Chains A and B, each alone.
Chain A
Amino acid sequence: MIRNVLENLGGHIAAFPVISLVIFVSFFTGMLLWVVSLSRRHVEHMSQLPLEPEGGDQRHE
């Protein structure tokens, strides 16, 4: 059934590459905006995560 539905899309297949391009560009724009908007303090906290002592969590003690 899915096959039939999609085959009926056949008439609009020309839109396929355009849709793909739009998805592609918006994906990267969104990601870059998100990364740029991260706060410095949060980034520091995240990058310290692997370095916390294994025995316990000193931040909370």
Chain B
Amino acid sequence: MNVETFKYDNKIVRAFAIASVAFGIIGMLVGLLVAVQIYLPAANLNLPFTTFGRIRPLHTNAVIFAFVGNAMFAGIYYSLQRLCKARLFSDVLSWIHFWGWQAIILAAAISLPLGITTSKEYAELEWPIDLAITLVWVVFAINFFGTIAKRRERHMYVAIWFYISTVITVAVLHIVNSFELPLSWLKSYSMYAGVQDALVQWWYGHNAVAFFLTTPYLGLMYYFLPKAANRPVFSYRLSIIHFWALIFIYIWAGPHHLLYSALPDWAQSLGMVFSLMLIAPSWGGMLNGLLTLRGAWDKVRQDPVLKFLVVAVTAYGMSTLEGPLMSIKSVNAITHFTDYTIAHVHTGALGWNGFLTFGMLYWLIPQMYQTKLWSVKLATAHFWIGLMGMTFYVLPIYWGGVTQSLMWKQFTPEGFLQYPNFMETLLNIIPMHILRSIGGSLYFTGVILMTINLIKTARQGSFLADQEAQAPALKDQVEHAEAPHGYHHRWLEKKPLIFTVLSLVAILIGGIVEAVPTFLIRTNIPTIAAVRPYTPLELQGRDLYIREGCVSCHSQLVRPFRSETERYGTYSKAGEYVYDHPFLWGSKRTGPDLHRVGKKYPDAWHVKHMQDPRSTSPGSIMPAYPWLLTRKLDTSATVKKVSLMRKLGVPYPENYELQAMADLKAQAKAISDNLAQTGAPMDADREIIALIAYLQRLGTDIRVAEAGGAL
């Protein structure tokens, strides 16, 4: 038999590992900064670039795509080579992938603080960066499938299946959610509007959690857990069921992010039912991981790697039980828009992704440096500090989230809201926010300990850049005569192409079933005659709302609960959003809902509120936006914006472009005059004027409709 000698590439694995730790530190620091700003708004340093609305997406993008993303690539490239018994397909592609990904992260780190954003959660990056992501992902995919093609092991282990589903699904999600029409190099508008935009966005958002944060990490679990425990996975059959059931069901569950919204009811119910079904594969996977350690729990006491992996797998189980429970409509009515969701995602992020990454790094670095871990004690200390940090992070805001939600919903015996002032419900949970940031600091301290430990480990060892290995070429391998009827059993694991196509079909079915009716049946989005396109000034104001990331803290979606209609006004209808490119429903109410804020306060109130929120709302934690009062509104793209909106289907009259600037100026002057009369003089060309125009318009069309009996 002709045995071939080849070398595994450890350099690329190390590069991604280092990038993961470095960006993990930065991403978590930014997270800490936003957490502090919740109770100390002055921590924004009074700069637009470091204000909550702009750096909250920086935090989420950094931890998801930079920390987890780089760790995922490190783990995939390490395990893929070993499982395929082949060096990566191309060193050049590996390094283009690495540097391309880091360049994208850098572009995000620059553009987000500048307010260049699409405002769609976890897809905030503007279209040139979206294109770059697509290109780098294609490079990754070629390198990935190329490696599989030149493998020396006939069968693909289940970890590789999870990686394949990641590669193809992330590509599909990213492309579909990024359909946008560019206005300039730095600005684009979603092709979808309102309810459809919301459905696509949360189909994306939900499945980004599934296929960026979950499936690749499950692949890593199925590789590194057996490796670290030195025993095979508990049940390989169960892992097959885990894989197919998970990728098939996950896709259907997206609408659970939009319960009680203006999305059609059948889609909401579908999302809820499929979310509950997800418990089965998720728990099958968790138990499969934990049972792998049967008879080896004594090892967990000594080995920090296993400690981290055990907590990671447990956190996976906990958050995948919690997620489906939160998808039950009556539970969602309480948890949605509150800190409970933030606690939920951090159980997943800190526990599952964080701890699995740490466990993997503690195993990988000594392995590649041919040495032992520098200090097991320090790693164990990291484990306990991290675990405490996670607990102190999630528990206070679980508590705070439910408390605030119940306060929102509380009525007096006379039938009035008990806490009509939003501020009361907010100030009540500030201590929980403080505790949360202490938890976050503890977790961060653990990461610093790990960094020291890994650097010391690297220094005491010698790096094995190219690890030599031997295996016969695939064509020289004789099939094991394992069963007379063995062929059809294993064909799938031997045929990467068919396998990939089948996975693609599995993930497309759920998305198609949900999207087709929503997009094609017009009756799903009832039109309301009184709803008119935004005026040019309001369009500009909306872009400022997007730039400042107002959507991070304010929803624009009044749910059909009495507690909400009493507080905000009539509930939101699908037909009200038909001209919203993109939709701005938001997912969190750190501040009150704004969908019915139009005409609620006088113009002058908004000026004072933006200048110093505490002057109008004592105790408010909203940052001040003084720059809106001094900056001149850039109107150079107004006409282009109107044309672009028309292309997207907004019915501006023919040749309205000729009229747009005059209309903008007239409306700005009217607001400016009104402000002068009410003691808050402001030039008509300031940004604040456009923002006021937009805010005063919000949710008012329907009042006209109701007054006129059009509904």
B240 at the binding interface (Cβ < 8 Å): yes
Contact, CB under 8 Å: A50 / B241? no
A30 to B707, CA, bound (A): 57
Residues of B within 8 A of A32 (CB): 241
B87-95, B129-137, B486-494 - interface stretch: B486-494
Contact, CB under 8 Å: B472 / A60? yes
Interface string of A17-49 (1 = CB under 8 A from B): 000100100011001101111110111111111
Contact, CB under 8 Å: A45 / B155? yes
Taking the closest CB of chain A, its distance from the CB of B287, in whole angstroms, is 16
Contact, CB under 8 Å: A51 / B227? yes
Contact, CB under 8 Å: B245 / A28? yes
Residues of B within 8 A of A9 (CB): 520
> Could you list 10 further interchain pairs (A-B, Cβ under 8 angstroms) beyond the known A46-B236, A57-B85, A57-B470?
A13-B521, A38-B237, A43-B237, A45-B480, A47-B232, A49-B83, A50-B157, A52-B82, A60-B3, A60-B477
Residues of B within 8 A of A60 (CB): 1, 3, 471-472, 477
Contact, CB under 8 Å: B230 / A51? yes
Contact, CB under 8 Å: B506 / A50? no
Q: Which residue of B lies closest to A21 (CB)?
A: B513
Contact, CB under 8 Å: B469 / A41? no
Partner of B469, one of A39, A49, A56: A56
B517 at the binding interface (Cβ < 8 Å): yes
Taking the closest CB of chain B, its distance from the CB of A24, in whole angstroms, is 8
Residues of A within 8 A of B483 (CB): 39, 41-42
B226 at the binding interface (Cβ < 8 Å): yes
A47 to B239, CA, bound (A): 10
Contact, CB under 8 Å: B152 / A57? yes
Contact, CB under 8 Å: A54 / B82? yes
Contact, CB under 8 Å: A7 / B520? yes
A46 to B161, CA, bound (A): 12
B516 at the binding interface (Cβ < 8 Å): yes
B1-15 residues with Cβ-Cβ distance < 8 A to A are 1, 3, 8
Taking the closest CB of chain A, its distance from the CB of B319, in whole angstroms, is 24
Interface string of B215-229 (1 = CB under 8 A from A): 000000011001100
Residues of B within 8 A of A27 (CB): 244, 248, 506, 509
Partner of B245, one of A31, A37, A44: A31
Contact, CB under 8 Å: A50 / B79? yes
B175-229 residues with Cβ-Cβ distance < 8 A to A are 222-223, 226-227
Residues of A within 8 A of B519 (CB): 3
Binding site for B on A (CB under 8 A): 3, 6-7, 9-10, 13, 16, 20, 23, 27-28, 31-32, 34-39, 41-52, 54-57, 60-61
Q: Which residue of B lies closest to A52 (CB)?
A: B82
A39 and B467 contact, Cβ closer than 8 Å, known pairs A7-B520, A23-B509, A46-B155: no
Contact, CB under 8 Å: A49 / B241? no
Contact, CB under 8 Å: B517 / A13? yes
Residues of B within 8 A of A3 (CB): 519-520
Binding site for A on B (CB under 8 A): 1, 3, 8, 79, 82-83, 85, 152-153, 155, 157-159, 222-223, 226-227, 230-233, 236-237, 240-241, 244-245, 248, 467-472, 477, 480, 482-483, 486, 489-490, 492-493, 506, 509, 513, 516-517, 519-521
A35 to B85, CA, bound (A): 26
A43 to B519, CA, bound (A): 44
Residues of A within 8 A of B492 (CB): 34
Q: Which residue of B lies closest to A2 (CB)?
A: B520
Q: Which residue of A lies closest to B240 (CB)?
A: A35
Residues of B within 8 A of A44 (CB): 232, 236
Contact, CB under 8 Å: A42 / B490? yes
Q: Which residue of A lies closest to B237 (CB)?
A: A35
A46 to B238, CA, bound (A): 12
Residues of A within 8 A of B240 (CB): 31, 34-35, 38
Contact, CB under 8 Å: B467 / A54? yes
A39 and B486 contact, Cβ closer than 8 Å, known pairs A6-B516, A56-B470: yes
Q: Which residue of A lies closest to B224 (CB)?
A: A50
Q: Which residue of B lies closest to A36 (CB)?
A: B237
A48 to B627, CA, bound (A): 62
Contact, CB under 8 Å: A31 / B244? yes
Residues of A within 8 A of B236 (CB): 43-44, 46-47
A3 to B515, CA, bound (A): 12
Q: What are 23 A-B residue pairs whose CB atoms fall within 8 Å in the complex?
A: A7-B520, A16-B517, A23-B509, A27-B506, A28-B248, A31-B245, A38-B489, A45-B155, A46-B157, A46-B158, A46-B493, A47-B233, A49-B157, A50-B82, A50-B222, A50-B226, A55-B467, A55-B470, A56-B469, A56-B471, A57-B152, A57-B153, A57-B469
A40 to B11, CA, bound (A): 38
Contact, CB under 8 Å: B226 / A6? no
Taking the closest CB of chain B, its distance from the CB of A34, in whole angstroms, is 8
Partner of B227, one of A28, A36, A50, A55: A50
Taking the closest CB of chain B, its distance from the CB of A47, in whole angstroms, is 4
Residues of A within 8 A of B509 (CB): 20, 23, 27
A10 to B516, CA, bound (A): 11
Residues of B within 8 A of A46 (CB): 155, 157-158, 236, 493
Contact, CB under 8 Å: B520 / A10? yes
Contact, CB under 8 Å: A57 / B230? no
A10 and B521 contact, Cβ closer than 8 Å, known pairs A43-B236, A51-B226: yes
Q: Which residue of B lies closest to A49 (CB)?
A: B157
Q: Which residue of A lies closest to B81 (CB)?
A: A54
A51 to B115, CA, bound (A): 48
Residues of B within 8 A of A55 (CB): 467-470
A56 to B462, CA, bound (A): 21
A9 to B8, CA, bound (A): 53
A45 to B155, CA, bound (A): 9
Partner of B520, one of A6, A28, A54: A6
A13 to B153, CA, bound (A): 47
Across the A-B interface, the 8 shortest Cβ-Cβ residue pairs: A47-B232, A56-B470, A57-B471, A47-B236, A49-B157, A41-B482, A39-B483, A43-B236
